Chain A
Amino acid sequence: MRKLIKGNEAMAEGAVIAGCRYYFGYPITPQNEVPAYMSKRLPEVGGVFVQAESELASINMVYGASAAGARVMTTTSSPGFSLMMEGVSYLAASRLPCVLANVQRGGPGLGNIAPAQGDYFQAVKGGGHGDYRLIVFAPASPQEMLDLTILAFELSDKYRVPALILSDGIIGQMMESVDIPENYVPGKVDKPWALTGAEGRSKNVVCSLFLDENVMQNLNTELSDTYEELKKSEVRYESFMTDDAEAVIVAFGTPSRIAKNAVLRARAEGCKAGLLRPITIFPFPEKEISSLIENNVKNFLVTEMNSGQMLEDVKLAVSGRSNVHFYGTTGGVITDEDEMTDRIMSICKGGSRG
């Protein structure tokens, strides 16, 4: 079924399709469509919506529902995600699957309600305390808000790693025609660890407290091993006109849409530009960057709505083998197509303004 809906609604419906029946959230712009949608939709499918008293409460309700074995979600925007950080660390440490979403807005501080990508570090480098990662998806359309949310539930259950949809105010608010699957069957994952009442079995305990530092280290090792597995098996990206490209834009979310136009315009002027769009930003498509370098890409232009955060991951992947340039906007200002086109063109001509 095709429907013209907002990205936030597509994400919410994706969760319902994936079998999520529990949603806990606190209002914050620009993601308010999600709680509004869930408060109506979940009761229709026998689910539960709770408006929590704060993001602290939402994330810990998520902890409880996940510990109880359910598919569960919360969504928020930047300041709210900061408030959740302790809970996210607990979820990761307790190996509780769940799907979280941060529909980013301008920051730091209270910032504004314009779209931004300033929470990249917080999303992919941990964010909360301790040594952990999330599986992080960066949708670039309402369709992907839906598709990647479904995938997020599946992978989170499979790996027992919380998943995060890192979106922004534009992707969340924009309306597009979305293909809504009608016969999706959510994956069935056994959760023998879940708290369901210990009838006829020994008790289950969900916790992240391990007073013996060696036991704690073992958990950390188990987590790192899982993250390595994710890097091997779950990297997703889109390549756009990269086959013969000499200069490649790397962008996720909103700027990646603008970058496609920049690539087309540059190509029309004879500049062999391309776009690499990470769809997962953790795990990050570093191998793909390497193969682009092997394919003769001498220059990368990283473009983000922040002051250069994914830039660091691109630089790590490039490891000095090619030039890495940057064009960013901050505070909720959207990357500009003309500017992006100029930058990639001047890189093509060898006159980089990096």
Chain B
Amino acid sequence: MADIIFDRPKSMTSAPFHYCPGCGHSVIHRLICEVIDEMNLRGKTIAVAPVGCAVLAYDYFDFDVSEAAHGRAAAVATGIKRVHPDKLVISYQGDGDLASIGMAETIHTANRGEKITVIFVNNTNYGMTGGQMAPTTLVGQVTTTTPKGRNPETEGYPIRMAEMIASLQAVKYSVRTSVADFKGIVQTKKAIKKAFELQLEGGYSFVEILSNCSTNWGMNPVDANKHIVEKVAEYFPLGTFKE
């Protein structure tokens, strides 16, 4: 009998992903579940799902999950963590959710040093609502609300969240990784693990992950991932900004 060397993580359900084929959300979900399995944390984890393409994350995570109103995941996570300080609390959010409508909650949760982990999926647009400009949209990037490309004169420049979060004193860990290639995926998994460990030691951790939105970028997933490595990561450098 052959050995199984690759299987679904135990903390992931068998529900088929509703994500577009090749979407980074699926990869990131899997990495989270792999780390939870490895750290044996399924029974100790409470996650918060955002409003965005990952709104149904609780269909895929086989642990306790709460919904949050658009942008408020960090506040919901705060409420949960204050009640269950011994649990691993994860806030999973997109860039519209975290860096636009939920910016205040994002910054203040980090600034309070809430003992949670924020997984921030930066795909440079609002995936769920059809590809509008996000605070992270690159200069010149065409979206449904920047038909001529993002113009910094009127729309400003993309916000580098991991760097901004790193500037706050209470933050224990802030990194940016990508899931656009194998190396990035390995680094992302390492970063997630580190973030969980630091949370359990009593700190706030933030993992920004560059991820594709091939559908709204109008690219196939292979080109979209190439675009991340070549273009997106140029403006959003990978690295550890605080540890």
Q: Which residues of A contact B (CB under 8 A)?
A: 22, 24, 48, 50, 52-54, 56-58, 60-70, 72, 86-87, 90, 94, 195-200, 203-209
Contact = CB atoms under 8 A, between A and B. Distances in A.
B44 A197 contact: yes
B71 to A, nearest CB: 8
How extensive is the interface on chain B, given as a class? 35 or more
B146 interface: no
Contact of B79 (A68, A196, A203): A68
Contacts of B104: 53-54, 56-57
- 7 residue pairs, one from A and one from B, having the closest CB atoms: A64-B79, A199-B43, A60-B75, A207-B67, A65-B79, A68-B83, A60-B72
Given A53-B104, A197-B43, A197-B45, A203 B76 contact: no
Interface stretch (B55-63, B188-196, B218-226, B232-240): B55-63
B55 to A, nearest CB: 6
B72 A53 contact: no
Contact of A57 (B42, B80, B105): B105
Nearest to B101: A56
A61 B64 contact: no
A67 B76 CA distance: 9
B67 A197 contact: no
B125 interface: no
Q: Is the interface of B mostly helix, strand, loop or mixed?
A: helix
A94 B66 CA distance: 10
Nearest to A68: B83
Given A197-B84, A206-B66, 4 more contacts: A50-B112, A60-B68, A196-B87, A205-B65
Contact of B67 (A53, A199, A209): A209
A196 B45 CA distance: 8
> Which residue of A53, A206, A207 has the most chain B CB atoms within 10 A of its CB atom?
A206
A10 B48 CA distance: 34
B225 to A, nearest CB: 29
A195 B55 contact: no
A199 B65 contact: no
B72 A57 contact: yes
A42 to B, nearest CB: 11
A67 B58 CA distance: 14
